[in-house]
Structure 1
């Protein structure tokens, strides 16, 4: 990447990590207060309704990703007319989506009882669900301008607003939970926060891009509309696959196992989701710069080299986090919430496997979004969704929670694992994909070997509680990073990353 792209990516990453780290801390405190003032049934309902709303978000159909891709080139060329035309289209679509989600959510409210096997004794469940719907629908109004800031490699601005409001929301929610023990007030505060954040981001976008407020309609020509429509159609399938796979676990657990199991899993999900958000923000921060690279340069060799570095970075981060989760999940939750909120180790192992499989897709998906390659594997998500639902339901009936998670892993391995890199290499890089899989299997072997060694050392620790947790955390920090360094310090990818980070450090000094 050019110096400007690298600098912008680093700034976006820095804001993302600081913001999410703060968010994680306040979120854990919020969860402790939540369980202290309410109950695990409320926690289960919170997780279940969040999943249902993620399914309603299918109405998005991937419009956001398609529009953001279309913005890279006009932003790089400073074509304000086309940018305004795209944003006008984006606004109309997102207002329609938000309205549709609101209406659909209200329509399905009477049928909630069919999604819960053991309905808890919680008053005003319908009102609670409607507040979830309103919050989701509200998030689409004015939020389209956020995508323009992100596409312009200025994600750090939206990150600042996101976590400033998130921090304020959690503090106020904690206060009101202690004062009222009322879940409805808790959700009302969330709706107000969503609306205010969108207003502030929208006003910031108007200041950064004053041409958005100029009178006069900007229109796209027929060919541009065709390209965007084609990408939206393709993203529709990707959106369906992603939502079905990630948004049905809690629904299946609720129906096949029970709402309390949803509450227990929500704590594990809170941790993995927090990690995914932190790491995902790193990749999202880089994606706009990759989009700028592909829009302004025609150097395939350089692009593949940058992809290799990003993929290696993804392995190191997700491999390290996977080992940490395997060793520290239960010790941490036991200290945090107590032993009544623990899953057995086989379930944790499958959760961690899914975490790693999902994480290793990040680099491929970042470059797919930058290239705008949505059409060529548009049917892949449909196969993924069907396999996930069929296998998860079958295994869930016979084996419970672990069967549902194994279904997710099988659907990923039989579709995303090989289709996404194949399409990227064929239509993005125009190169053979075998080098990618060679490195993938090499990385996986190193991870399994390192994980076994780390787990063995962890099992030798006789201390329990906080002391045992910190000793195991020390093992997680030292052993995986030491082994990764020994295996990879001679590689081109490691040397590239080392040069980038060392030059940054020297610059700061």
Structure 2
């Protein structure tokens, strides 16, 4: 789509979406707190408590939609100050922003029921519906942009697609959980509400800090460099975010089962679940890392956009490294989420956001986008280290040495597999589509074969498959 609407509009789109993400902190993180309490209610099949939690959820999301809409409208006259824009009128920028705001506001009252499906390990329903809607929606957007050159109608199409998806999911939830309608006036117990609000104090700070971590890169690059650079940054970010989102989706699909298991299991079993999950995610991240480190530049240059949209090698390396850190950090993030350690997550979120902001601001002028991405990578690395220290030291009260050695072993193997993949692809790649496909096959086979050879007889390889059989259904 960049070929048709230009890097500056792509960059503006990225900046505006980050501004909306910042505003969305009004959600307070209540979804995290309520879903955590849903795990126990679902395990005990307590329909009244499930309905009460969902009723509280509904009221909160209607309120947040109103607050977000109000705050969003108030800053509309100032939204252009977040970006260096040289091509588009002030009216166009504000219209684009208002459409993004509308998309977010209407999603609140329509999307909260998804959380019950996720907590009850039925996320596949949401995933299938989302994939189908995205295929239809993005196809329509591409057709609009390609044949008309207009982006605003394409964005409106996306809003309609999201709304239809949420309405369909809501009807499905009402059909599968009829007690939600029957108990629509059920209220949660005072002690449960008090516990949720105690959790919210910590989750809110965590959410605000994580939004700052994930949403400031575009704003810093736009403010200190220019919005066109954000467009190029967004191209590579689209690829790495897509991979990260797939890995996060896998983690999200596992999390409800892990949450239910942690309600019933002891610390030794919880530790084994973490090691098994980490091994599984290493196998997945190894394939993703080889593909991204080796083929992301050839994909942008020869398959997708062309040489004019290439990025400097250091920034590309750091962008992919951030994606790898997100992937390998998912298991420890999942167990922290289901352990209810919201107070510790709050502290971590503040630390990582501050590190990212300080390092990015200090390095953006001398090093450009590479400096900003270095701050992001450091923040994700700090998250992994901190979560290991807290989970092992305070939750399961065990020595973390073996787990740290696992991660070090995976890092060494990952580096070797990327190096071998790069050398192997260099022998066959000649900038053609066919050799690009061959390169993809190499980047899949090299890590898979090496890891199979190294781990096929290990207890890790045999035991991680048992994880899925033992997750509560």
Q: TM-score range by the shorter chain?
A: over 0.9
User: C-alpha separation between the residues in 2 aligned to 1:125 and 1:145?
Assistant: 33
3-state SS of paired residue (2:346): coil
1:454–1:489 Cα change, 3 Å: same
Partner of residue 30, structure 1: none
Partner of residue 311, structure 2: 343
| Deviation, structure 1 residue 343 | 1.0
1:172–1:473 Cα change, 3 Å: closer
**Contact 1:153 1:285 (C-alpha < 8 Å) held by counterparts:** yes
**Contact 1:241 1:382 (C-alpha < 8 Å) held by counterparts:** yes
Partner of residue 223, structure 1: 191
Once the two structures are superposed, residues 167-192 of structure 1 have per-residue CA deviations (whole angstroms, 9 ceiling, x without a partner) of 22122223333443222211211222
Question: 1:133 pairs with 101, 118, 143, which one?
Answer: 101
- Superposed CA RMSD in Å reads 1.9
User: C-alpha separation between the residues in 2 aligned to 1:462 and 1:187?
Assistant: 37
Once the two structures are superposed, residues 214-257 of structure 1 have per-residue CA deviations (whole angstroms, 9 ceiling, x without a partner) of 25632222221122112211111221222111111111111122
Partner of residue 92, structure 1: 59
**2:347 aligned with 1:379:** yes
**Contact 1:310 1:363 (C-alpha < 8 Å) held by counterparts:** yes
Partner of residue 298, structure 2: 331
Question: 1:276 pairs with 223, 244, 255, which one?
Answer: 244
1:454–1:172 Cα change, 3 Å: closer
**2:266 aligned with 1:299:** yes
Question: Which consecutive segments of 4 or more residues in structure 1 shift more than 4 A?
Answer: 498-501
Partner of residue 104, structure 1: 71
Once the two structures are superposed, residues 326-377 of structure 1 have per-residue CA deviations (whole angstroms, 9 ceiling, x without a partner) of 1000111112111111112221111111111111110011112222221234
User: Which deviates the most, 367-376 or 91-100?
Assistant: 367-376
**2:111 aligned with 1:151:** no
| Deviation, structure 1 residue 36 | 4.1
User: C-alpha separation between the residues in 2 aligned to 1:444 and 1:233?
Assistant: 36
**Contact 2:241 2:323 (C-alpha < 8 Å) held by counterparts:** no
Partner of residue 458, structure 1: 425
Q: Structure 1: state its 5+ residue gaps.
A: 1-33, 504-509
**2:280 aligned with 1:313:** yes
**2:465 aligned with 1:495:** no
Question: 1:60 pairs with 8, 21, 27, which one?
Answer: 27
Q: Residues 98-497 of structure 1 correspond to what in structure 2 (within 5 A)?
A: 98-122=65-89, 124-214=92-182, 217-295=185-263, 297-334=264-301, 335-413=303-381, 415-461=382-428, 463-497=430-464
| Deviation, structure 1 residue 267 | 1.4
1:242–1:175 Cα change, 3 Å: same
User: C-alpha separation between the residues in 2 aligned to 1:352 and 1:459?
Assistant: 19
Once the two structures are superposed, residues 21-55 of structure 1 have per-residue CA deviations (whole angstroms, 9 ceiling, x without a partner) of xxxxxxxxxxxxx3343222221111111111111
TM-score (norm 2): 0.94
**Contact 1:59 1:100 (C-alpha < 8 Å) held by counterparts:** yes
3-state SS of paired residue (1:376): helix
1:78–1:382 Cα change, 3 Å: same
3-state SS of paired residue (2:274): helix
User: C-alpha separation between the residues in 2 aligned to 1:480 and 1:193?
Assistant: 38
User: Which deviates the most, 132-141 or 478-487?
Assistant: 478-487
| Deviation, structure 1 residue 126 | 0.5
User: Which deviates the most, 260-269 or 430-439?
Assistant: 430-439
Question: 1:48 pairs with 15, 19, 41, which one?
Answer: 15
User: C-alpha separation between the residues in 2 aligned to 1:467 and 1:219?
Assistant: 61
**Contact 1:276 1:359 (C-alpha < 8 Å) held by counterparts:** yes
Partner of residue 22, structure 1: none
1:141–1:498 Cα change, 3 Å: closer
1:149–1:462 Cα change, 3 Å: closer
Once the two structures are superposed, residues 252-289 of structure 1 have per-residue CA deviations (whole angstroms, 9 ceiling, x without a partner) of 11112211111111111111111112221111111111
User: C-alpha separation between the residues in 2 aligned to 1:357 and 1:286?
Assistant: 19
Partner of residue 21, structure 1: none
User: C-alpha separation between the residues in 2 aligned to 1:417 and 1:491?
Assistant: 25
**Contact 1:138 1:191 (C-alpha < 8 Å) held by counterparts:** no
| Deviation, structure 1 residue 462 | 5.5
User: C-alpha separation between the residues in 2 aligned to 1:402 and 1:216?
Assistant: 51
Partner of residue 19, structure 1: none
